[in-house]
Amino acid sequence: MRLENKVALITGGGSGIGAACARLFTAEGARVAVADLSRQGADLVARQIEDAGGRATTLSGDVSRRADAERLVSETVKSLGGLDILVNSAGITARNVRQGADFEEIWDTVINVNLKGTFLMCWYAVPEMKKRGGGSIVNLSSIIGLVGHPLSDGFNPYPASKGGVLQLTRDLGINQAKFGIRTNCLCPGFTRTALTQALTENPEMLARLESLHPIGRLGEPEEIARAALFLASDEASYVTGAFLAVDGGYTAR
Protein backbone atom coordinates (compact mmCIF):
# COMPACT_ATOMS: atom_id res chain seq x y z
CA MET A 1 0.00 0.00 0.00
CA ARG A 2 1.65 3.18 -1.18
CA LEU A 3 -0.41 5.68 0.86
CA GLU A 4 -0.81 3.82 4.14
CA ASN A 5 -1.54 6.17 7.10
CA LYS A 6 -1.85 9.17 4.78
CA VAL A 7 -4.75 11.63 4.72
CA ALA A 8 -5.64 13.14 1.35
CA LEU A 9 -7.99 15.97 0.43
CA ILE A 10 -9.16 15.85 -3.17
CA THR A 11 -11.07 18.79 -4.64
CA GLY A 12 -13.28 18.04 -7.62
CA GLY A 13 -13.37 14.57 -6.07
CA GLY A 14 -16.96 13.91 -7.11
CA SER A 15 -16.22 13.62 -10.82
CA GLY A 16 -13.70 12.62 -13.48
CA ILE A 17 -10.02 12.75 -12.58
CA GLY A 18 -10.62 13.72 -8.94
CA ALA A 19 -13.01 10.79 -8.44
CA ALA A 20 -10.50 8.38 -10.02
CA CYS A 21 -7.82 9.75 -7.64
CA ALA A 22 -10.12 9.27 -4.65
CA ARG A 23 -10.84 5.64 -5.57
CA LEU A 24 -7.18 4.83 -6.28
CA PHE A 25 -5.77 6.62 -3.23
CA THR A 26 -8.15 4.81 -0.86
CA ALA A 27 -7.27 1.49 -2.53
CA GLU A 28 -3.64 2.37 -1.70
CA GLY A 29 -4.50 2.86 1.99
CA ALA A 30 -5.18 6.61 2.27
CA ARG A 31 -8.09 8.10 4.18
CA VAL A 32 -9.64 10.56 1.74
CA ALA A 33 -11.81 13.67 2.00
CA VAL A 34 -13.77 13.84 -1.25
CA ALA A 35 -14.60 17.52 -1.75
CA ASP A 36 -16.79 18.98 -4.46
CA LEU A 37 -19.07 21.86 -5.27
CA SER A 38 -22.13 19.74 -4.65
CA ARG A 39 -22.26 16.87 -2.19
CA GLN A 40 -24.16 14.59 -4.57
CA GLY A 41 -21.21 13.49 -6.72
CA ALA A 42 -18.90 13.34 -3.71
CA ASP A 43 -21.34 11.11 -1.81
CA LEU A 44 -21.59 8.71 -4.75
CA VAL A 45 -17.80 8.40 -4.94
CA ALA A 46 -17.57 7.91 -1.16
CA ARG A 47 -20.13 5.09 -1.37
CA GLN A 48 -18.08 3.39 -4.14
CA ILE A 49 -15.00 3.70 -1.91
CA GLU A 50 -16.74 2.30 1.15
CA ASP A 51 -18.19 -0.59 -0.89
CA ALA A 52 -14.62 -1.41 -1.91
CA GLY A 53 -13.53 -1.40 1.75
CA GLY A 54 -11.90 2.03 1.77
CA ARG A 55 -12.41 5.02 4.06
CA ALA A 56 -13.71 8.37 2.80
CA THR A 57 -15.56 11.39 4.03
CA THR A 58 -17.34 13.98 1.89
CA LEU A 59 -17.22 17.76 1.95
CA SER A 60 -18.83 20.44 -0.16
CA GLY A 61 -17.57 23.90 -0.94
CA ASP A 62 -16.49 26.30 -3.66
CA VAL A 63 -12.68 26.39 -3.93
CA SER A 64 -12.78 29.92 -5.33
CA ARG A 65 -14.26 31.21 -2.05
CA ARG A 66 -11.72 31.85 0.67
CA ALA A 67 -13.98 30.79 3.56
CA ASP A 68 -14.91 27.54 1.78
CA ALA A 69 -11.28 26.69 1.02
CA GLU A 70 -10.35 27.27 4.65
CA ARG A 71 -13.26 25.11 5.83
CA LEU A 72 -12.47 22.24 3.41
CA VAL A 73 -9.00 22.01 4.94
CA SER A 74 -10.09 22.43 8.57
CA GLU A 75 -12.92 19.87 8.24
CA THR A 76 -10.52 17.36 6.68
CA VAL A 77 -8.13 17.79 9.59
CA LYS A 78 -10.98 17.53 12.08
CA SER A 79 -12.55 14.40 10.63
CA LEU A 80 -9.45 12.53 9.41
CA GLY A 81 -6.80 13.71 11.86
CA GLY A 82 -4.44 15.79 9.70
CA LEU A 83 -3.48 16.46 6.10
CA ASP A 84 -0.64 14.88 4.09
CA ILE A 85 -1.80 15.12 0.48
CA LEU A 86 -3.79 17.72 -1.44
CA VAL A 87 -4.99 17.08 -4.99
CA ASN A 88 -6.42 20.19 -6.64
CA SER A 89 -8.66 18.70 -9.30
CA ALA A 90 -11.60 21.15 -9.14
CA GLY A 91 -11.64 22.95 -12.45
CA ILE A 92 -13.84 24.39 -15.16
CA THR A 93 -13.70 25.61 -18.74
CA ALA A 94 -15.55 28.52 -20.31
CA ARG A 95 -18.30 26.02 -21.20
CA ASN A 96 -19.14 25.68 -17.48
CA VAL A 97 -19.77 29.41 -16.96
CA ARG A 98 -23.43 30.46 -16.78
CA GLN A 99 -25.18 31.11 -20.07
CA GLY A 100 -25.34 34.79 -20.91
CA ALA A 101 -22.06 35.66 -19.19
CA ASP A 102 -19.96 38.15 -21.16
CA PHE A 103 -16.26 37.76 -21.95
CA GLU A 104 -15.13 39.45 -18.73
CA GLU A 105 -17.33 37.30 -16.47
CA ILE A 106 -16.16 34.17 -18.30
CA TRP A 107 -12.52 35.22 -17.79
CA ASP A 108 -12.99 36.02 -14.09
CA THR A 109 -14.96 32.86 -13.34
CA VAL A 110 -12.50 30.45 -14.97
CA ILE A 111 -9.44 32.17 -13.45
CA ASN A 112 -11.13 32.26 -10.02
CA VAL A 113 -11.89 28.55 -9.94
CA ASN A 114 -8.82 27.14 -11.69
CA LEU A 115 -6.06 29.46 -10.49
CA LYS A 116 -7.30 31.31 -7.41
CA GLY A 117 -9.05 28.15 -6.16
CA THR A 118 -5.81 26.17 -6.44
CA PHE A 119 -3.93 28.98 -4.69
CA LEU A 120 -6.46 29.20 -1.84
CA MET A 121 -6.44 25.46 -1.24
CA CYS A 122 -2.62 25.43 -1.12
CA TRP A 123 -2.64 28.48 1.17
CA TYR A 124 -4.74 26.70 3.79
CA ALA A 125 -3.23 23.23 3.30
CA VAL A 126 0.45 24.16 3.68
CA PRO A 127 0.31 25.11 7.42
CA GLU A 128 -1.41 21.78 8.16
CA MET A 129 1.26 19.90 6.21
CA LYS A 130 3.98 21.76 8.11
CA LYS A 131 2.47 20.47 11.36
CA ARG A 132 3.00 16.91 10.02
CA GLY A 133 6.59 17.64 8.95
CA GLY A 134 5.77 17.62 5.24
CA GLY A 135 3.28 16.72 2.57
CA SER A 136 2.57 16.47 -1.12
CA ILE A 137 0.48 18.75 -3.32
CA VAL A 138 -0.63 17.61 -6.76
CA ASN A 139 -2.15 20.33 -8.93
CA LEU A 140 -4.07 19.75 -12.13
CA SER A 141 -2.62 21.90 -14.86
CA SER A 142 -3.09 20.70 -18.45
CA ILE A 143 -1.36 20.31 -21.80
CA ILE A 144 -3.19 23.59 -22.38
CA GLY A 145 -0.99 25.09 -19.66
CA LEU A 146 2.01 24.23 -21.84
CA VAL A 147 0.83 24.98 -25.39
CA GLY A 148 -1.95 26.98 -27.02
CA HIS A 149 -5.52 25.66 -27.21
CA PRO A 150 -6.40 23.98 -30.52
CA LEU A 151 -10.07 25.05 -30.34
CA SER A 152 -9.76 28.64 -29.12
CA ASP A 153 -9.89 32.13 -30.59
CA GLY A 154 -7.00 33.17 -28.35
CA PHE A 155 -9.16 34.92 -25.76
CA ASN A 156 -9.71 31.80 -23.69
CA PRO A 157 -9.06 32.02 -19.94
CA TYR A 158 -8.44 28.26 -19.61
CA PRO A 159 -4.87 28.24 -21.04
CA ALA A 160 -3.95 31.26 -18.91
CA SER A 161 -5.39 29.63 -15.78
CA LYS A 162 -3.51 26.37 -16.39
CA GLY A 163 -0.26 28.19 -17.20
CA GLY A 164 -0.74 30.02 -13.90
CA VAL A 165 -1.20 26.73 -12.06
CA LEU A 166 2.09 25.51 -13.54
CA GLN A 167 3.96 28.57 -12.27
CA LEU A 168 2.24 28.43 -8.87
CA THR A 169 3.41 24.81 -8.69
CA ARG A 170 7.02 25.73 -9.45
CA ASP A 171 7.04 28.62 -6.97
CA LEU A 172 5.54 26.53 -4.16
CA GLY A 173 7.74 23.61 -5.15
CA ILE A 174 11.00 25.45 -4.63
CA ASN A 175 9.93 27.56 -1.65
CA GLN A 176 8.14 24.92 0.45
CA ALA A 177 10.68 22.15 -0.17
CA LYS A 178 12.59 23.12 2.99
CA PHE A 179 9.47 22.21 4.99
CA GLY A 180 9.25 18.77 3.39
CA ILE A 181 6.34 19.82 1.20
CA ARG A 182 6.60 18.73 -2.43
CA THR A 183 4.40 20.48 -5.01
CA ASN A 184 4.00 19.11 -8.51
CA CYS A 185 1.46 19.22 -11.27
CA LEU A 186 0.00 17.01 -13.91
CA CYS A 187 -0.56 18.12 -17.48
CA PRO A 188 -3.14 15.71 -18.85
CA GLY A 189 -4.10 15.52 -22.49
CA PHE A 190 -7.79 15.54 -23.41
CA THR A 191 -9.38 13.02 -21.03
CA ARG A 192 -12.85 11.48 -21.08
CA THR A 193 -14.74 13.17 -18.25
CA ALA A 194 -17.78 15.42 -17.79
CA LEU A 195 -15.50 18.37 -18.60
CA THR A 196 -14.94 17.18 -22.17
CA GLN A 197 -18.29 15.46 -22.75
CA ALA A 198 -19.63 18.25 -24.96
CA LEU A 199 -16.62 17.68 -27.24
CA THR A 200 -16.42 13.89 -27.15
CA GLU A 201 -20.11 13.30 -27.90
CA ASN A 202 -19.56 14.96 -31.29
CA PRO A 203 -17.98 12.20 -33.47
CA GLU A 204 -16.16 14.65 -35.78
CA MET A 205 -14.73 16.60 -32.86
CA LEU A 206 -13.75 13.39 -31.10
CA ALA A 207 -11.88 12.15 -34.19
CA ARG A 208 -10.09 15.49 -34.47
CA LEU A 209 -9.05 15.43 -30.81
CA GLU A 210 -7.92 11.81 -31.01
CA SER A 211 -5.76 12.63 -34.03
CA LEU A 212 -3.91 15.27 -31.96
CA HIS A 213 -2.71 12.60 -29.51
CA PRO A 214 -0.02 10.32 -31.06
CA ILE A 215 -1.34 7.38 -29.01
CA GLY A 216 -4.52 7.84 -31.06
CA ARG A 217 -7.12 8.17 -28.34
CA LEU A 218 -8.14 10.34 -25.39
CA GLY A 219 -7.01 9.57 -21.86
CA GLU A 220 -9.09 7.85 -19.20
CA PRO A 221 -9.38 9.40 -15.70
CA GLU A 222 -7.73 6.32 -14.16
CA GLU A 223 -4.63 6.88 -16.32
CA ILE A 224 -4.28 10.39 -14.90
CA ALA A 225 -4.95 9.14 -11.35
CA ARG A 226 -2.06 6.66 -11.57
CA ALA A 227 0.32 9.55 -12.30
CA ALA A 228 -1.22 11.54 -9.43
CA LEU A 229 -0.59 8.57 -7.13
CA PHE A 230 3.09 8.56 -8.09
CA LEU A 231 3.48 12.29 -7.37
CA ALA A 232 1.50 12.05 -4.12
CA SER A 233 3.46 9.07 -2.80
CA ASP A 234 6.95 8.72 -1.34
CA GLU A 235 8.02 7.17 -4.64
CA ALA A 236 8.31 10.77 -5.85
CA SER A 237 10.39 11.81 -2.82
CA TYR A 238 12.93 13.68 -5.00
CA VAL A 239 10.36 15.37 -7.26
CA THR A 240 9.18 18.91 -6.60
CA GLY A 241 8.27 21.93 -8.71
CA ALA A 242 7.86 19.57 -11.64
CA PHE A 243 5.16 18.85 -14.18
CA LEU A 244 4.34 15.47 -15.64
CA ALA A 245 2.63 15.37 -19.03
CA VAL A 246 0.20 12.46 -19.20
CA ASP A 247 -1.01 13.21 -22.66
CA GLY A 248 -0.62 10.33 -25.10
CA GLY A 249 2.32 12.21 -26.63
CA TYR A 250 0.36 15.41 -27.40
CA THR A 251 3.07 17.86 -26.30
CA ALA A 252 5.98 15.79 -27.69
CA ARG A 253 5.02 16.56 -31.29
Question: For residues 8 and 33, is the Cβ–Cβ distance under 8 A?
Answer: yes
Residue 244 makes contact with ligand NAP by CB under 6 A: no
**Residue 109 sits in the site that holds ligand NAP (CB under 6 A):** no
**Active site (annotated) includes residue 158:** yes
Print the binding letters for residues 152-191 with ligand NAP: x by CB under 6 A, - otherwise: ------------------------------------x-xx
Q: What are phi and psi of 239, to 5 degrees?
A: -115, 115
Judged by CB under 6 A, the stretch of 31-39, 77-85, 99-107, 122-130 that binds ligand NAP is: 31-39
Candidate ranges 35-43, 45-53, 175-183, 229-237; the one touching ligand NAP (CB under 6 A): 35-43
Rounded to whole angstroms, the Cα distance separating 234 from 114 reads: 26
Selected catalytic residue, list 124, 158, 238, 250: 158
Residue 26's identity, in one-letter code, is: T
Q: What is the DSSP string of 160-228?
A: HHHHHHHHHHHHHHHHSGGGTEEEEEEEE-SBSSGGGHHHHTSHHHHHHHHHHSTTSS-B-HHHHHHHH
Q: What minimum distance in Å lies between the beta carbon of 252 and ligand NAP?
A: 16
Residue 91 within binding range of ligand NAP, rule CB under 6 A: yes
Q: Is 125 in contact with 86 (CB distance < 8 Å)?
A: yes
The residues annotated with a catalytic role in the active site are: 158
